[in-house]
Amino acid sequence: MSFNETLKSLIKSKKSHLCIGLDVDKSKLPQSVLSTDEPILTFSQQIIKYTEDITVVYKLNLAFYEALGEKGYRILKDTLSMIPKEILTIADAKRGDIGNSSSKYAEAVFDDLGFDAVTVNPYMGFDSVEPFCANPEKGVFVLVLTSNKGSSDFQQIESANGIPFFLEVARKITEWNGNDNIGMVLGATHPEEIESAVKAAPKLSVLIPGVGNQGGEGSRVKNIFKDNDQSPFIVNSSRGIIYASSGEDYAVKAREVAKELRDELN
């Protein structure tokens, strides 16, 4: 089954559009967690345990593991092994390079680490994205319009066709979706632009970061997709969920906030 089909059916069966971002920063962990042998693993394990029944995807940001140096790889692998097989995993890696290098990145993320999907940057064009798309079962979320302030610097510049640059990207990547495994990253902080991108690329799945800490609203996102059953969408929250409480009740609070967001999206 193609990645986009798998995602669609998982959203349906689990009645959830929730993606939880495991951006675990040691400096933000509660005292009891810090006193364990592997604080990041302890914390991740608890978050997963308290949210696995309500989330369809966990998104792991590779930057956080790379910053740990040598031990980062093992912690990443061990975190992945704690996630139940039926839940999808996204490597939030934002990779992209010339073909032979992108092939190596795809090998690292899919074959070695075993992720189900990856985020990629479109700036270098087709041959930089293609190696990630080779296996229809693996998902490829292409950055289209991101949630951060800097998204106005280039993504929203107008092209000579009279449309913003991010729509040029949305249109083009639709042509690359022969394996039905491409998705778009569209920041929740731009609800109107999400609508125009989904119109330009109606058959792609959609990953929406930026709710919670970054200011996007779940209810607004839900409305965009209310009459749309061909674009499977997932909404990611990272810090808003995993750091919902800085105290010892962090896992319970994470579940509460995650459940609220899930319900808001249904």
CB of 176 to a copy of itself, least distance (A): 10
Q: State yes or no: is 85 an active-site residue.
A: no
Q: Give the count of alpha carbons within 13 A of 182, CB side only.
A: 30
Contacting a copy of itself (CB under 8 A), which of 23, 38, 78, 180?
23
Q: List the one residue from 27, 37, 69, 85 that touches a copy of itself (CB under 8 A).
A: 69
Q: Report helix, strand or coil for 56.
A: coil
Task: Tell which one of 96, 183, 232, 240 touches a copy of itself (CB under 8 A).
Answer: 96
| Radius of gyration of the chain from its Cα atoms, rounded to whole angstroms | 18
For 104, phi then psi, to 5°, come to -65, -40
**What residues form DSSP beta bridges with 90?**
59, 117
Contact status, residue 92 vs residue 21, Cβ threshold 8 Å: yes
**Is 192 buried (19+), middle (13-18) or exposed (0-12) by CB count in 10 A?**
exposed
DSSP H helices, 26-94, are 31-34, 39-51, 62-66, 70-82
Residue number, 172 or 222, with CB nearest to a copy of itself: 172
Q: Quick one: 35 exposed, middle or buried, by C-beta within 10 A (0-12, 13-18, 19+)?
A: exposed
Q: In whole angstroms, how far apart are CA 240 and each of 91, 173, 197, 255?
A: 19, 30, 25, 11
State the binding string over 190-209 for a copy of itself (x if CB under 8 A, else -).
--------------------
Please say which residue, 65 or 233, places its beta carbon nearer to a copy of itself.
65
Choose which of 104, 219, 247, 260 interacts with a copy of itself (CB under 8 A).
Answer: 104
Q: Do residues 237 and 212 make contact, with C-beta atoms less than 8 angstroms apart?
A: yes
Near a copy of itself in 115-174, by CB under 8 A: 121-129, 143, 146-155, 157-160, 162, 165, 168-169, 172
Nearer to a copy of itself among residue 169 and residue 221 (C-beta): 169
Marked catalytic residue, from 94, 149, 199, 253: 94
Please tell me whether residue 44 binds a copy of itself under the rule CB under 8 A: no
In this complex, which beta carbon is closest to a copy of itself, that of residue 96 or of residue 232?
96
List residues binding a copy of itself (CB under 8 A): 23, 61, 63-64, 66-70, 72-74, 77, 92, 94-102, 104-105, 107-108, 112, 121-129, 143, 146-155, 157-160, 162, 165, 168-169, 172, 214
Give me the active site residues, please.
94
